[in-house]
Homo-oligomer: A and B are copies of this chain.
Amino acid sequence: MHIDAMDAAALARTEAELERSYAALRAEGLNLDLTRGKPAGDQLALSAALDGALEAGYGAEDGTDTRGYGGADGIAEARRLGAEWLGLAPEEVLAGGNSSLTLMYLFLLGAHRFGLDGQGSAWADDPAGARFLCPVPGYDRHFTICEDLGIGMVSVPMTGEGPDMDRVEALVAGDPGVRGMWCVPRYSNPTGETYSAGTVRRIAGLGRIAAPGFRVMWDNAYAVHHLAGGTPPPENVMARCRAAGTEDSVVQFASTSKVSFAGAGISFFGGSRRNVDWFRSRLSVMTIGPDKVNQLRHMRLLPDMDTVHTHMVRHAELLRPKFDCVRRRLEEGLGNLGMGRWTDPDGGYFVSFWTRPGLAKETVRLAAEAGVRLTPAGAAFPYGDDPEDSHIRLAPSFPPLEEVDRAMEVFVTCVRLAVVRGARRDREG
């Protein structure tokens, strides 16, 4: 029965039932975890050939001995793959180490504290301040970087086809302290949406209305991470930027973390030649160069995008049953009850769930007490603050299917219990 259709007696009866179910689940002493989007063991095993991949030698295609120092750009074949991945030319790409997050941090560190354009250009030194637009719900580690660097955050809602661009344009045009925006253009973390062509075009146009030094951080973390057959890719943002004369305004990131090994993959940075030259000079101060041996290892496993796509189909086969399970549990347990809404993503690593306002923290707490860890409510918002206290990120990739199923059974029970308890309070109050 839909929650709004329940009378007091129905509510009381339902609550009593739910309290019994919940108590029974608690009594099981479960220990389940849906917190982080990480590949499971069977997915990692798809890349087992990385070990031993260097039997054919350590020479890159241009003869570089990958075991040596240097080569801040990364090896040529990795840059070429990254270029195809990001829709750029190879000279517009740097291939990096095991963490694209580190590249993002170092890019923003450089822009904010050292300056994109020499002495005096650091955002931190500008009286207008430094703020970043943060589409929400978004990725908590993006927000942590801003917080660490002292870059303020301004939330902008996601719409189902990317950020609300009316809001974005108004903020960018109206506030010279807005220095950039976080974007996850495909299968966005955590809503799973892919930016529409119109969104991409409008993002490419931001450089024309923004203050100098404006940079969109285009984190294409799920560029090839389909669950279903594969939706059409977003528009090539750099092509759009070139058309708009704003090619310096967007910098791109990607990695093989959810393609090969989560903690031992390779990463890519991409952007205009000017951005690449600047970032190379920043990186050169602080590193002897990326791990080129690991880059070569990856090139042996994933020499081109065709191979990457084939590889990702196998990931999808392993992930899909878990996402199907989440959807089934949500539909069966919460469909048409007015107790929440959720996404049904075509790719990426997450399902977003929205409780009725004010119930996300309580739902997460109830689940934790029944032995199911969820990402903390609010984590997908700057400063961990979801003003509606409604969004919960579900990450079903890592646990085995039967654990996902049990965890979702608990989750559904917790959502229902929180809603019914809340409704009783509301009517009594």
Contacts and interface: CB of A to CB of B under 8 A. Distances in A.
Copy total for this chain: 2
A423 interface: no
Interface stretch (A96-104, A128-136, A183-191, A370-378): A96-104
A264 B292 contact: yes
Interface stretch (A50-58, A206-214, A306-314, A327-335): A50-58
A291 B288 contact: no
B51 A288 contact: no
Contacts of A99: 287-289
Contacts of A58: 44
A3 interface: no
B294 A101 contact: no
Interface of A: 36, 38-39, 41, 44, 51-55, 58, 65-71, 97-99, 101-102, 105-106, 109, 113-114, 144-145, 148, 257, 261-264, 285-294
Contacts of A145: 285-286
A155 to B, nearest CB: 20
Contact of A264 (B55, B109, B263, B293): B293
A292 B285 CA distance: 24
Given A54-B51, A148-B285, A285-B148, A291 B97 contact: yes
A291 B293 contact: no
A55 B51 contact: yes
B288 A105 contact: no
B263 A293 contact: yes
B262 A105 contact: no
A26 B145 CA distance: 54
Contacts of A51: 51-55
Given A145-B286, A287-B101, A288-B99, A44 B65 contact: yes
Contacts of A69: 36, 38, 257, 262-263
Given A39-B68, A98-B290, A145-B286, 13 more contacts: A36-B69, A41-B65, A44-B68, A51-B51, A51-B54, A51-B55, A66-B263, A101-B287, A105-B285, A105-B286, A148-B285, A263-B288, A263-B291
Nearest to A260: B67
Nearest to A37: B69
15 contacts: A44-B65, A51-B53, A52-B55, A66-B263, A69-B262, A71-B263, A97-B291, A98-B288, A99-B288, A101-B286, A105-B287, A106-B286, A114-B148, A257-B288, A291-B291
Considering the complex of A and B, which 4 residue pairs feature the smallest CB-CB distances, nearest first?
A105-B286, A264-B293, A51-B54, A67-B261
